[in-house]
Amino acid sequence: MSLCFYLDKGASLDPDAPCLTLDGVSRTYGEVVELSHAVARALRRSGVAPGDKVGILSANDPVAFSSVFGIARAGAVWCPINPRNAAGETAELLDLFDCSVLIYQPAFDELVATIAPDLPSLRTLVRFGPADGTAQAFDAWLDAARDDPSEETAPADDVVALVGTGGTTGRPKGVMLTDRNIEVMSAITLMSYPFGERPVYLALAPLTHAAGVLCFPVLARGGEVVIMAKPDVARFLELIEAHRVTHTFLPPTLIYMVLGHEALATTDLSSLQCFWYGAAPMSPTRLAEALERIGPMAQLFGQSEAPMMISTMAPADHRRADGSIHTERLTSAGKPSPLVTVAILGPDGQPVPRGERGEIVVRSALVMAGYYRNPEATAEVSAHGWHHTGDIGYLDDEGFLFIVDRAKDMVITGGFNVYSAEVEQAVMAHDGVRDCAVIGLPDEKWGERVVAVIQPQPDTTLDADEVIGFVKARVGSVKTPKQVEFWPDLPRSTVGKVLKADIRSSLAPQS
């Protein structure tokens, strides 16, 4: 099933309904369908064959997102390029993916001019705006193919998207997502969370990542996607009220900013049915605050290789039957999704008893087809017949999944395993902490010592000894940080994840 299905399904419900909206200007379903056909014709005229790779380099934009469906109609593979990537990372991904066409915004002229000469597979450059150098103007590119036949082509090998992994631990890999992966992800979304007729989804986070994938089930319901071109918390709150937004997604770092914004108390959020959070662990203290001040929060857990929906926790799961907050569940990632099997494996590749910790592994049609041109990495991540997430966790007696760490982030101190996420949750319970990261550093006595790097709340001064005492009372002396650092901000990836490798590099002793 092509990515076009979601758009065309929405258009069949009402072609005149608003589909993609930016700054108060809406494109209807009929207009987006028409544009997608025009993009498909232009791609075929440019020599794009089924299975060829087409990159889009753009901030959140309706025309850019409409082009995704044109790529699908041509049977090509969508390669979303995060606009926040550095030039070197963008070049590396375009080269890795063998992209033959790049469609981009003028804001990236300098970047494209720098990297394009070294990318021999990149045959066609298309620019939103006037032609510039070797790049064709988007409108003229479409016009040249206006009279060509409009036809749809099935994607080669059913791969519809090629997504780069974070690349924070070395060369990124290309995750091959099939039409079935997206279909299962969309089905789980619609099964697991509240959806009424014609939802309104507000997309602030990059459409190249989670925010974009969540658009597909919304479009299948004939919903409207309200797009924000850049992060702005005040504007985010205004749009929820103005458009009667029903669904949205933010990573925890931006939710903390929403909670700290003065306009939150006076914004009408009554339209919200589902405020998704994910992409990083969220402080249970802040989550409880969000449940009271924002409303229906909903967790999702996934990764590029198994998009979004390995486990889900709907708004109702955050509360007990009497309406009170279910505090014990606030550190959970929810239950394994209806179409996903989750197990916890020990080092020997065998399942561990319920409640014991091990690596979270998955079986599902949600899981990728593999890594592009990397059979060795594909085999490694698929060992023992399971997809290995690289996350450490456990399942409780009710079947809720708890993620305690990334395998590579576990700290072994004095012979004990310390899971950084557990310590981070204890630190984040402090009212003066906005965010934190816990790592291990070499230590002559302990092997590794637990180190907490803390971003304080604005206009807050914290004392290291006081924080250490606060954490010790919650998790005990073994897990308590032996070193506390205060930084004005934490280094983050382009999707908001804290870069612990950068923190380690900054704090590790120099040889």
- Whole-number Cα distances in Å, 486 to 280, 466, 505: 20, 13, 16
Q: How far is CA 299 from CA 81, 189, 220, 332, in A?
A: 25, 11, 21, 9
**CATH number of the CATH domain containing 104:** 3.40.50.980
Instruction: Report CA 341 to chain centroid distance, whole Å.
Output: 21
Q: Which two three-digit tokens encode residue 38?
A: 């025009």
Final residue before a domain boundary, out of 179, 199, 214: 179
Final residue before a domain boundary, out of 179, 205, 232: 179
Q: How many domains does the chain have?
A: 2
Residue 185 domain-assigned? no
361: nearest Cα among 332, 334, 338, 394: 394
The beta-strand segments (E) located in 460-510 are 483-486
Residue finishing a domain among 151, 179, 207: 179
Q: Which domain holds residue 421?
A: 410-507
Q: Is residue 432 domain-resident?
A: yes
Sequence-separated contacts (24+) of 349-352 with Cβ below 8 Å = 349/383, 349/384
The reported pTM is 0.85
Q: Are strands 124-127 and 136-137 parallel, antiparallel or unpaired?
A: parallel
CA angle 78, 82, 406 (to 5 degrees): 105
DSSP state at residue 86? -
In a domain, 471, yes or no: yes
Long-range contacts of 9-14, Cβ-Cβ distance < 8 Å, separation of 24 or more:
9/219, 9/220, 9/222, 10/219, 10/220, 10/221, 10/222, 10/223, 13/198, 13/221, 13/222, 14/222
Residue 453 belongs to a domain: yes
Residue 35 within a domain: yes
pLDDT, position 168:
43
Q: What CATH number corresponds to the domain at position 431?
A: 3.30.300.30
Per the domain annotation, does 227 fall within a domain?
no
Please indicate, yes or no, if residue 108 is contained in any of the structural domains. yes
Nearest Cα to 311, choosing from 290, 288, 342? 342
Q: How far apart are CA 104 and CA 408, in angstroms?
A: 36
State the pLDDT at residue 153.
79
pLDDT of residue 495: 63
Residue 228 confidence (pLDDT): 95
Q: Is residue 234 part of a domain?
A: no
**Ordered per-residue pLDDT tens for the chain, 511 residues:** 689 999 999 999 999 999 999 999 999 999 999 999 999 999 999 999 999 999 999 999 999 999 999 999 999 999 999 888 878 889 999 999 999 999 999 999 999 999 999 999 999 999 999 999 899 999 999 999 999 988 877 776 799 999 998 644 457 899 999 999 999 999 999 999 999 889 999 999 888 877 889 999 999 999 999 999 988 999 999 999 999 999 999 988 889 899 999 999 999 999 999 999 987 778 888 899 999 999 999 999 999 999 999 999 999 999 999 999 999 999 999 999 999 999 999 988 899 999 999 999 999 999 999 999 999 999 999 998 999 999 999 999 999 999 887 777 778 787 677 878 889 988 999 999 999 999 989 887 787 899 999 999 998 999 999 999 999 888 888 889 999 999 999 988 766 678 888 898 889 876 4
